[in-house]
Amino acid sequence: MSSITTEPAVLVLEDGRVFRGRAYGALGTALGEAVFSTGMTGYQETITDPSYAGQLVVQTAPHIGNTGVNAADAESRRIWVSGYVVRDAARRPSNWRSEGSLDEQLRAQGVVGIQDVDTRAVTRHLRDRGAMRGGIFSGDAALRPEPELVAAVAAAERMEGRRLAETVSVTEAYVVEPAEHGWEGEVRHELVAVDLGIKSMTPHRFAERGVRVHVVPADTTFEQIRALRPRGVFFSNGPGDPATAERQVETLRQVLRAGIPFFGICFGNQLLGRALGFGTYKLVFGHRGINQPVLDRRTGRVEITAHNHGFAVDAPLEGPVTAPLEEFGRVEVSHVCLNDDVVEGLNCRDLPAFSVQYHPEAAAGPHDASYLFGRFIELMDSHRDGSADPTIDNAVPGGAQGARPDRDASTEGQH
């Protein structure tokens, strides 16, 4: 179906900036944090990524919807963006894999959007002023006086302090079998993946390498994890402020104390940082897209990676250092964003644990970081001797002692 409509729509930002266009998707009102994504492809993977819950996503790519949508490319059970902002919406899809139009999908799921917006101007505004609350108003809602619309945006929740992982997580555990994804040998390992907003391609990447993945809800306890006798534990990406995830952080500390190999991505990276005693802070406008350059400090290799995060770990780039919670030994920043020196990965020197801030599953995105799944499997291989028996709370080895360099989180634009 064509996306042509005469219904008016308006994007209103909390600082009073207004952008007018036409309705796209459902009619009504959408409130959330206005952010921009720089990916040139993968719009369906973007809008179905649970990490975008609570956000109005501005696509910097000018032409959206031309390949339609299909069931195979969805990264979750539904669209998670609160609202969608595009410049040129395709009038109709044209692709052999298309099963419907993006406009139809947005309307079917009640997602309010806006088209014919100068998304370059919106992006430049958010880049200079920072991510902020916004609202999309279409149909009759767009006809209200602008001061009323600005007031509605100002009354919306901020992303700081929002606890969202439980709202996007599954409520019942499920298993992803290696045989379902092309693996023909014996199962190599049992892995527990805590769903904080997991993308469907992530357990797929483990399964195709011979790992049976038990995907469990965000509120799963350590005792429930241990009952599954996993060789490793994985924390996924997800939305919201990591400072609100006290329950998951404490569960992760129990995992670390038990000596179970751990791997985290995105939100999982932030929670590892907090579990070790580091703080987290909000980025000015965040990293979102599939073209972010990251340096792997161990190999010296620059990777082009997929990102979707507005918070980061506040850890010293110089290392290794003793974790603020000294029981966990030494930790080092393993990856750094080359655009702004934001911490993009952590590696524990005295524990079988590491994490990255970006999305190595490449959906949508480059495959530069796919090696990380193999690296974690090697880590689980190395603990076959029973040293990571999940029924034993092993003592954590001590690390080198030393003061943690101070870091002013208020200077976030310099990270």
CA distance 177 to 183: 9
DSSP β-bridge partners for residue 301: 296
DSSP line for 22-48: EEEEB-SEEEEEEEEE--SS-HHHHHT
Is 309 labeled as catalytic in the residue annotation? no
**Residue 373, annotated as binding a ligand:** no
Contact 190/388 with Cβ under 8 angstroms?
no
**Residue 19, annotated as binding a ligand:** no
> Exactly one of 14, 104, 344, 361 is catalytic; which is it?
361
Query: Which tokens is 380 given?
Result: 């689980």
Q: Which of 242, 260, 295 is nearest to 386 (CA)?
A: 260
**Residue 386, annotated as binding a ligand:** no
Strands (E), 240-315: 262-265, 279-296, 301-314
Contact 25/165 with Cβ under 8 angstroms?
no
CA distance 151 to 139: 18
Backbone angles phi, psi at 147, to 5 degrees: -60, -35
**Residue 262, annotated as binding a ligand:** no
Query: Which tokens is 74 given?
Result: 């969805």
Strands (E), 298-412: 301-314, 321-322, 330-337, 343-348, 353-356
**Residue 137, annotated as binding a ligand:** no
**Residue 240, annotated as binding a ligand:** yes
Is 337 labeled as catalytic in the residue annotation? no
Is 33 labeled as catalytic in the residue annotation? no
Q: What are the helix (H) ranges across 60-164?
A: 102-108, 119-129, 146-154
Contact 307/287 with Cβ under 8 angstroms?
yes
CA distance 18 to 164: 28
**Residue 376, annotated as binding a ligand:** no
Measured CA angle at 220 (ends 187, 361), to 5 deg: 50
CA distance 84 to 81: 7
> Exactly one of 33, 266, 303, 335 is catalytic; which is it?
266
CA distance 275 to 60: 35
Residue 289, helix vs strand vs coil: strand
Residues taking part in catalysis? 266, 359, 361
Q: Which residue ranges are tagged as binding site?
A: 51, 238, 240, 267, 270, 308, 310-311
Q: Which residue ranges are tagged as binding site for L-glutamine?
A: 51, 238, 240, 267, 270, 308, 310-311
